[in-house]
Amino acid sequence: MTGKEIPDSAKRAYRERLKYLRRGQEAFQGKEVSKAVQFYATYLKALADYFGVPENHLDPKFFDLQKDKAELLLVSQVYWDLSKAYDRSPGLQSECIRCLAQFVKFTIGFKHQHINAQLLKKYLRHNSAVNQQAFKGAFTKIQVDSKKCYIATYAFGENHHITCSLRSFKADYLNHYALGIKFISAYYHFSPRLVSFSESNPLIGKALLLVFRPVIFAVNLFVNTWRKICLKS
């Protein structure tokens, strides 16, 4: 929340926002794109008015990142549908790019990041986008800018020096090479599932930790050695 007094009209619209969201989803699935765009716009405006910001300034920071996980996913999906809708209109490419940027903003760092990345990947694979470069750019940004290191975080914790070291290696080295970006893409495809499975099965998770920790420790040792070699050369 912004700390501003919320008008009663904004409170009412906020309470009814999910009704417009559902109508937008139904219209989009029924290929009534213009109607879907109107409903989605109403939903986003209800959020923006409630937080006291313009719609194009909506940001995950206005939400409770724990309690509002489901809504953060919904917002990302709305911007995803809008991106596709505007992409089909030659005069609205700038809106498509803006909505893609919002989609990325509401994707990076959240548990639904993998789901959204796969949506993008599938869309690109089917050559569905008119502006392929914009959608490719969004996919790359999700893969490159994410600070998540799922397995290392699961094994050692978010702020452990090994987790930070591997995260830094991704940002400083892997992101700058085509092969490195492919590796990151594959990592983000499998690692969230593996961690989710481990968390859902505590006994198996404990056993996997006995494997993860020495392997990650060895990988980090290799990475640091490789860095030193590169600095000397």
Tell me, what's the pLDDT at 208?
85
Residue 110 CB partners (closer than 8 Å, separation 6+): 60, 69, 72, 73, 76
Write down the pLDDT at residue 27. 97
CA torsion 182-185-189-191 (nearest 10°) is 100
Residue 181 is predicted with a pLDDT of 73
The CA dihedral of 131, 137, 140, 141, to the nearest 10 degrees, is -140
- Tell me how far apart the terminal alpha carbons of the chain are, to the nearest angstrom: 51
Q: What is the pLDDT of residue 225?
A: 87
pLDDT of residue 144: 65
What is the residue extent of each domain of the chain?
Answer: 147-233
pLDDT at 223: 84
Show pLDDT as tens, one digit a residue, over the chain (233 residues).
445 689 999 999 999 999 999 999 999 999 999 999 999 999 999 999 999 999 999 999 999 988 999 999 999 999 999 999 999 888 899 999 999 999 999 998 887 887 898 889 899 989 889 999 999 989 888 876 665 677 887 788 877 888 888 878 877 777 777 787 778 777 777 777 787 788 788 888 888 888 889 998 898 888 888 778 777 76
Q: Virtual CA dihedral for 171, 154, 102, 100, nearest 10 degrees? A: 70
For residue 2, the model assigns a pLDDT of 47
